[in-house]
Amino acid sequence: MNLKDCYYVFWSYFSENAENCYALLLSKNAYDCYVVDNSDHVYGSLHCNRLYKVRNGFFSDDCMDSSFIFDCVGCSDCFGCINLRKQKYRLWNEQLSKEEYYERLKYWDLGSYARFEEAKHKFRALYLSTPHRFAHVVSSQDVTGDIVRDAKDCKVCFSAFDDVEHCRYLYFGGLNMKDSWDVSIGGDTSNLMYETCAVTGHASRCAFSAGGTNCRNTYYSDWAANSSYVFGCISIKNKQYCILNKQYTKQEYEELLPKIKKQMEDVPYIDKKGRVYKFGEFFPPELSAYAYNEAFAFPWYPKTKEEVTREGWRWQDTPERSYEISLKPEDLPDHIRDVNDSITREVIGCTHTVPPAGGCNEQCTTAFRISQAELEFYHKMNIALPRLCPNCRNAERLTWRNGFNLWHRKCMCSKTDHAHDNNPCTIEFETTFSPEKPEILYCADCYRAEFL
Ligand SMILES: [Zn+2]
Ligand SMILES: [Zn+2]
Ligand SMILES: [Zn+2]
Per the omega criterion (within 30 degrees of 0), is the bond before 386 cis?
A: no
Same domain, 391 and 412: no
Same domain, 218 and 254: yes
In a domain, 211, yes or no: yes
In a domain, 313, yes or no: no
Same domain, 148 and 55: no
pLDDT band at 299 (very low <50, low <70, confident <90, very high): confident
Same domain, 149 and 247: yes
Dihedral pair phi/psi, residue 256, rounded to 5°: -75, -40
Q: Which residues pair with 186 in a beta bridge?
A: 173, 199
Q: What's the Rg (C-alpha) of the chain? A: 24
For residue 275, the SS3 value is coil
In a domain, 312, yes or no: no
DSSP character at residue 319: P
In a domain, 441, yes or no: yes
Residues with CB under 5 A from ligand 2 (ion): 352, 360, 362, 364, 392
- Which one-letter amino acid corresponds to residue 245? N
Same domain, 96 and 151: no
Same domain, 240 and 361: no
Same domain, 151 and 128: no
Interior/surface letters 116-135, b for 16+ CB within 10 angstroms, e for the rest? beebbeebeebbeebbbbbb
The rounded Å distance from CA 408 to ligand 3 centre is 14
The rounded Å distance from CA 319 to ligand 1 centre is 14
The average confidence (pLDDT) of the chain is: 94
pLDDT of residue 1: 83
In a domain, 79, yes or no: yes
Report yes or no: 300 and 285 within 8 Å, Cβ to Cβ: no
Per residue in 113-160, pLDDT tens?
Answer: 999 999 999 999 999 999 999 999 989 999 999 999 999 999 999 999
pLDDT of residue 360: 82
The rounded Å distance from CA 285 to ligand 3 centre is 41
In a domain, 274, yes or no: no
CA distances from 198 to 184, 201, 215, 231 (A): 6, 10, 12, 17
Same domain, 114 and 160: no
Same domain, 98 and 46: yes
Q: Which of 381, 398, 415 is the last residue of a domain?
A: 398
Same domain, 337 and 423: no
Per residue in 401-438, pLDDT tens?
Answer: 999 999 999 999 988 777 667 788 999 999 999 999 99
Q: Is the pLDDT of residue 357 over 70?
A: no
In a domain, 323, yes or no: no
Same domain, 244 and 191: yes
The rounded Å distance from CA 247 to ligand 1 centre is 49
Number of domains in the chain: 4
Same domain, 20 and 38: yes
pTM of the model: 0.89
The rounded Å distance from CA 92 to ligand 1 centre is 30
Report yes or no: 102 and 91 within 8 Å, Cβ to Cβ: no
- Domain range for residue 354? 329-398
> For the residues 45-69, what does the mean pLDDT come to?
97
Between strands 348-349 and 367-368, the pairing is antiparallel
Q: Which of 80, 107, 133 is the last residue of a domain?
A: 133
Q: Which of 74, 107, 133 is the last residue of a domain?
A: 133
Residue 398: HSE in the Cβ half-sphere, 13 Å Cα cutoff: 17
pLDDT of residue 362: 83
In a domain, 138, yes or no: no
